[in-house]
Amino acid sequence: MPKLTVQLMLFILLTCFLIVTKPITALAANQVNFTIGSRQYTVNGQRFNMDVAPYIKNGRTFLPVRYVATALGIPESGIIWDNKERAVKLVTSELEATLFIGKKEMLLKKSQATQSGSFSVVTMDVSPEITNDRTMLPLRWIAEVFGVQVDWEASTSTVYLSTLPDESSDVSNPQLLAVVTGSVVNIRSGPDLTADIITTVKQGTTLTICGQEGDWYQIIYSGKKGYIAASLVSIQKPVQPSRGSSGSDNGTSTSAIKGKLIVIDPGHGGTDPGAIGVTGLKEKDFNLDVALRLSQLLNRLGAKVVMTRTEDVYIPLEERPAVANKLGADVFVSIHANASTNPQANGTTTYYHVNTTDSLPASLSKASAQLAECVQQALVQTLQLNDQGSKTDPGKGFVVLRESQVPAILIEAAFLSNKSDEALLKKDDFREKVAEGIMTGLIEYFSESRSSK
């Protein structure tokens, strides 16, 4: 897919779609099951037939749009197709999700929102497609956006969709994190010891809580939902007061980030691999993976996220900060991994640019320095790596920072040139921690900015 230009992104964010397709009958369902390759599906145990069977592509289950709507309980009036833009919109009383054929960006908007620009962008790992004249959508991504739990049974190739637990309780709060206290703990597909094990996590792993069922927390890990026993985790806020906090409520809740427009820049890409690790890891691949994880975390907190790239493509340096400048973003975050001729160099660094001309206000440099300090401290606390500090960019400055007209930072998560650091950079749980650390630093920055006004 060609890179998404600034003009196209702006067009997508402002476009509304008004053409209605042929109505279908949607069912208010609590449990819907689909089996790969079968045209039969069940709703609360009752069998129905489809005209097209679901299939798996690139590790994702694809279903025709009408059956996705059925599974989500979306009414017949809630499917809107725009033939010109090759886009389909799924609408409920609370949420609108717009998906574009061949594009990985899903545009979300609160249905009841009255303020201009109340949107967010979720970047999927696959894109909707047309197969045999049917619009096929990636089921899991859409189901989770609409708050429906998705489980998978490998032995029968069956997908199970069910309504998530009530998320109105105090623990069903994206401000809460679960830190694993057991040495090795199972994440299961349901709130029971007999439920399938999805994966295992080690002591110290941080998980986002999105619900509770009895003695189990429903959590999000690596973009997936699961359950973990409450007795095996400790609960904490994602941000701890720091740098001389008075102990009062300093606004460090995730509400500070809600509605903020954040541009995420995965460094390098395409023909530019960036640094190469001691065992061959390409910096561009690490950067993109962490950026996608961060995008998901921020979207869940209500931030508006735009990425300079969502796949392995080359984007000129000058075009990256231009995205943030033209959109009037609140911050610009460029994600990288470091390298040095000294193989012993290790740790985490966050760079910012100090303006030495009169072209930009001094307040911009101050805001960038504050942003860098917040993110650096959060990363060091989360990753427990050597603190290389928050620093001004060397020489004339990094282009992506120097050309930015909004508060901007460049993160060097760890050293690809260091054997131990590179081993961490390869791991999914470490990449998730990097994303969580950046998220925590951003929350702290926006909280401090709000309290200082």
The candidate with the shortest Cα–Cα distance to 99, out of 90, 112, 91, is: 90
Determine the Cα–Cα distance for residues 365 and 292; give it in Å rounded to an integer: 27
DSSP character at residue 113: -
Other CB atoms within 10 A of residue 181 CB: 12
Q: Where in the chain is the domain with CATH 2.30.30.40?
A: 165-236
Catalytic residue, chosen from 144, 311, 412, 448, is 412
Fold for 165-236, please state it: SH3 type barrels. (2.30.30)
**Full DSSP string of 255-317:** GGGTT-EEEEEE-SBTTB---B-TT--BHHHHHHHHHHHHHHHHHHTT-EEEES-SSS----T
pLDDT at 174: 40
Residue showing tokens 């001691």:
278
DSSP character at residue 238: S
CA angle centred on 414, ends 285 and 184, rounded to 5°: 85
pTM above 0.85, yes or no: no
pLDDT at 214: 74
pLDDT at 452: 56
Are 439 and 364 in contact by the 8 Å Cβ rule? The answer is no
pLDDT at 221: 67
Give the CATH number of domain 6-161.
3.30.457.10
From the number of C-beta atoms within 10 Å of its C-beta (0-12, 13-18, 19+), residue 254 rates as buried
Fold for 254-451, please state it: Aminopeptidase (3.40.630)
213 has catalytic annotation: no
pLDDT at 260: 92
Q: Which amino acid appears at position 286 of this protein?
A: F
Spell out where 65-104 has E strands: 79-82, 87-91, 95-100
pLDDT at 47: 80
| Residuewise pLDDT in 10s, the chain (453 residues) | 444 444 444 334 333 332 222 222 333 335 788 888 888 888 766 788 888 888 988 778 888 888 888 777 787 788 898 888 899 998 887 788 899 999 988 888 865 443 444 567 778 888 999 988 888 998 877 877 777 767 676 667 788 776 544 333 333 334 467 777 766 788 888 888 788 888 887 777 777 777 777 778 888 765 567 888 887 877 765 443 333 333 323 334 456 888 899 999 999 999 999 999 999 999 999 999 999 989 888 887 888 888 898 888 899 999 999 999 999 999 999 999 999 999 999 999 999 999 876 567 888 999 999 999 999 999 998 899 999 999 999 988 999 999 999 999 999 999 999 999 999 999 988 999 999 999 989 988 988 776 555
Q: At what angle do helices 428-451 and 362-383 cross, to 10 degrees?
A: 140
Q: Is the dihedral of CA 144, 147, 153, 156 positive or negative?
A: negative
Determine the Cα–Cα distance for residues 24 and 39; give it in Å rounded to an integer: 17
Q: Which two tokens stand for residue 372?
A: 């860098």
Q: Where in the chain is the domain with CATH 3.30.457.10?
A: 6-161
Q: Which amino acid appears at position 371 of this protein?
A: L
pLDDT at 11: 39
Q: Where in the chain is the domain with CATH 3.40.630.40?
A: 254-451
Determine the Cα–Cα distance for residues 211 and 190; give it in Å rounded to an integer: 12
Determine the Cα–Cα distance for residues 80 and 76; give it in Å rounded to an integer: 9
